[in-house]
Amino acid sequence: MRFEDFARAHGLIISQIIPHRWVSTPTEDHPRKRNGRYKFLGNIGWVQNWATMTKPEVWKDVTGVTPKDYRDTFRKLAAERERESQAAAGKAGWIMNQTIRSPHSYLAAKGFPDELGNIWDKGDTKLLVIPMRGLDKRIIGCQLIDSDGKKKFLQGQSSKGAVFAMNAGGLPIFCEGYATGLSVRAVMVQIKIRYSIYVCFSASNMEEVAGRFDSGIVIADNDPNQVGENVARRTGKPYWVAPTVGQDFNDFHQSVGIFKASQALKKLLIQSGAASSV
């Protein structure tokens, strides 16, 4: 199988192969975003779709390449990846030190005009900065969101196991996006149940993080390709999925209001018995 076909099989949309560096690409499930990435070195390559994969998958062309060649390549790339990861963590810490607490137009568009976020004022643009930490609270990277809602991560950061936590010492709740987390928090406050919300930034990472907990519930996006619901099902935990294709819980919250949104989530908690475990 050619590398292009291998990448396509994992959902990446590639118009031209650029070798010897990580390249971000659109994906079939998110064609308007750069939710995929690849690295091509001729006889070996890696592809990753952030929505469906927690780590890159390896493609190999075995023609004229020895196992030792592969081992040497993997060692070099592992060292390179570690250097990039450490650099991204350092940059995320530096960016956080530049931020101030302030409202942001993205938060207003998501129904939270009074919410204070970490804002990095770059002069020409003001970015909402969502710090991404391991469960040990060590900063790993960050998500940057502009006023139009465009999101990106830092080059080289490792997002596996990374979360933004809203921890009130209660029921573990796992979701993908920051706005979804804010809506879940608003609902949990409304129904007066303690929560520990973990924003996981992608469906694949949500599966990774949820798997580290014995209990909790999952709030899934209703993706056209059903990735969110399939991931929620694989966690083995009770889950809620938006009733309309293309919606997440924040969309649902904004369309029906806080009362109906809280009743929908409360129904899941009661049916699953999750609320009684808090």
- DSSP result, 65-88: --HHHHHHHHHHHHHHHHHHHHHH
pLDDT reading at 277 higher than 70: no
Alpha-carbon distance of 6 to 144, in angstroms, equals: 30
Angle at which helix 203-210 crosses helix 227-235, to 10 degrees, equals 10
Is the domain spanning 163-278 CATH 1.10.530? The answer is no
Q: What is the pTM for the complete model shown?
A: 0.83
Angle at which helix 249-256 crosses helix 258-272, to 10 degrees, equals 130
Count CB-CB contacts under 10 A for residue 21.
9
**Local confidence band at 234 (pLDDT 50, 70, 90 cut-offs):** very high
Q: What is the pLDDT of residues 62-120, one digit of tens each?
A: 666 666 766 777 787 778 878 888 999 999 999 999 999 999 999 999 999 999 999 99
Which of the two residues, 170 and 43, has the higher pLDDT score? 170
pLDDT score recorded for residue 65: 64
**Local confidence band at 206 (pLDDT 50, 70, 90 cut-offs):** very high
Mean pLDDT of 221-226: 89
Question: For the chain, where do the domains classified as CATH 3.40.50 start and end?
Answer: 163-278
Q: Identify whether the C-beta of residue 41 lies closer than 8 Å to the C-beta of residue 78.
A: no
Q: What is the pLDDT of residues 137-191, one digit of tens each?
A: 999 999 999 999 999 999 888 888 999 999 888 999 999 999 999 999 999 999 9
The rounded mean pLDDT for the chain is: 90
What is the share, in percent, of the chain residues with pLDDT greater than 70?
Answer: 95
